[in-house]
Amino acid sequence: MKGYYGEFGGVFIPEILMSTIEELTKAFEEAKEDKEFWEEYERILGNYSCRPTPLTYAENLTKYFGGPKIYIKREDLNHTGSHKLNNVIGQGLLVKRMGKKRVIAETGAGQHGVATATMAAKFGFECTIYMGEVDVERQRPNVFWMEQLGAKVVPVKTGNRTLKDAINEALRDWATNMDTTHYVLGTACGPHPFPEMVMYFQSVIGKEAKSQIIEAEGRLPHRVYACVGGGSNAIGIFSGFLEDDEVELIGVEAGGYGLETKKHAARLASKDASIGVAQGYKTYFLQDDCGQMLETHSVAAGLDYIGVSPILAYLKEKGRVRFEVATDREVVEALRLTIKTEGLIPALESTHAFACAYREIKQMSKDKIIIINQSGRGDKDIFTVADALKDELWEKFIIKKAEVYNANKLHK
């Protein structure tokens, strides 16, 4: 059935949104058949951003570990600092095709909000960004730039005032203003056609990575590592290798304070999530027995989400993608090593992929090749990382947080 990946995916939306979802699906299907659409997409990303992004041979890290050759796909070099621009430029071109003039989006850490506001400024759309009130406080610089870019930022005061509440509010706006408005969903989640459409736009990462590694090494990599929030950068790079059974694909989720503390965002790599329907689609959610969403935690705001792409849920069940976690602590250590050894500053989100690769590299021989997807740059994380590194009693810090959490749970 269309829009389903095994039992996952679907279109679970209020009746009232059905016509706009159908309009979007039709526009997307037509655009896919139109060679000029993809050419314009590539032209804008090549000239306004910097595609193709390089595939960097990490010589120093390779020497440091003494194992497989490490290559890094440099999505951090995109305009606005992450892979998110690939998706918003693609959706922006669809908005033009549909003749709409207004875009809305949800944002957690603010990266998708800034990317969407940038696209709106470039294409001349009116723009509203929904952001949980807690995140508005935590991410002042991104709020400032969104406003400078001409977007209206609406702080969401419902629920626990973070990402999932912002998504609910954006869906509400869309249902009210669908004739004029397109909802720019930021990841490969939500109702069909979003997962397929976001994968389509992000597949540019995998296409490039495949031809670049063949050009550099004359063969395919043995493994590809990517971090998984909603799943868009992962499915983007994986899509280039899905048909190549010899390439092992590894998705890395947020292990937070450790799986045993339950303070994490591991939907596919832990046994804490279960299948459910929310926010328009069916997938694994971190939810309680009544279907209420649990609180997630990650040092990386972009991975801190209750659901996950239905496409990745399906690829897990099929056994095509292996899912692992990296804890906050492993991530901060991997970040420090990457900066000092290679002079690269990956985003905390991306560093989950690095941390998992570093852990597994020790079992791999020198004749192997791996690719790590650096989904974004880490400049935005300066305060979070500085806080973590300053804490010399890191061990205690982790235990303290876990204790606080457990104590809170007892009170409830």
Ligand X SMILES: *Cc1c(COP(=O)(O)O)cnc(C)c1O
82 part of the interface to ligand X, by CB under 6 A: yes
CB of 108 to ligand X, least distance (A): 8
Paired strand residues for 153: 129
Contact set for ligand X, span 269-298 (CB under 6 A): none
CB neighbour class for 4 (10 Å; exposed up to 12, middle 13-18, buried from 19)? middle
CB neighbour class for 248 (10 Å; exposed up to 12, middle 13-18, buried from 19)? middle
Catalytic residue of the set 106, 169, 324, 342:
106
Can you tell me the distance from the alpha carbon of 99 to that of 239, in angstroms, rounded to the nearest whole number?
Answer: 30
Can you tell me the distance from the alpha carbon of 83 to that of 95, in angstroms, rounded to the nearest whole number?
Answer: 20
67 part of the interface to ligand X, by CB under 6 A: no
Nearest to 81 by CA among 100, 108, 53, 57: 53
* Chosen residue from 68, 132, 221, 302 binding ligand X by CB under 6 A: 302
CA distances from 64 to 185, 334, 342, 368 (A): 39, 13, 10, 15
With residue 221 as reference, give the H or E element that holds it: none
Query: Per CB under 6 A, which region of 128-136, 222-230, 354-362, 381-389 contacts ligand X?
Result: 222-230
Query: Per CB under 6 A, which region of 94-102, 118-126, 207-215, 231-239 contacts ligand X?
Result: 231-239
232 a catalytic residue? no
**Is-contact 112 119, C-beta < 8 A?**
no
Query: Per CB under 6 A, which region of 125-133, 272-280, 329-337, 345-353 contacts ligand X?
Result: 345-353
204 part of the interface to ligand X, by CB under 6 A: no
Contact set for ligand X, span 362-391 (CB under 6 A): 375-376
187 part of the interface to ligand X, by CB under 6 A: yes
Closer residue to ligand X (CB): 20 or 350:
350
233 part of the interface to ligand X, by CB under 6 A: yes
Can you tell me the distance from the alpha carbon of 4 to that of 314, in angstroms, rounded to the nearest whole number?
Answer: 9
Catalytic residue of the set 270, 298, 350, 375:
375
Contact set for ligand X, span 110-149 (CB under 6 A): 111
CB of 84 to ligand X, least distance (A): 6
Closer residue to ligand X (CB): 111 or 128:
111
CA distances from 297 to 54, 109, 180, 300 (A): 32, 13, 36, 8
CB of 30 to ligand X, least distance (A): 25
* Chosen residue from 52, 195, 229, 280 binding ligand X by CB under 6 A: 229
227 part of the interface to ligand X, by CB under 6 A: yes
344 part of the interface to ligand X, by CB under 6 A: no
Closer residue to ligand X (CB): 68 or 206:
206
Nearest to 264 by CA among 272, 253, 255: 255
84 a catalytic residue? yes
309 a catalytic residue? no
From the centroid of its chain, how far is CA 268?
15
Catalytic residue of the set 69, 73, 84, 380:
84
* Chosen residue from 162, 350, 351, 384 binding ligand X by CB under 6 A: 350
347 part of the interface to ligand X, by CB under 6 A: yes
**Is-contact 117 151, C-beta < 8 A?**
yes
CA distances from 179 to 33, 85, 246 (A): 24, 25, 47
DSSP classification of residue 230: S
Where along the sequence are the contacts to ligand X (CB under 6 A)? 82, 84, 111, 187, 227-234, 302-303, 347, 349-350, 375-376
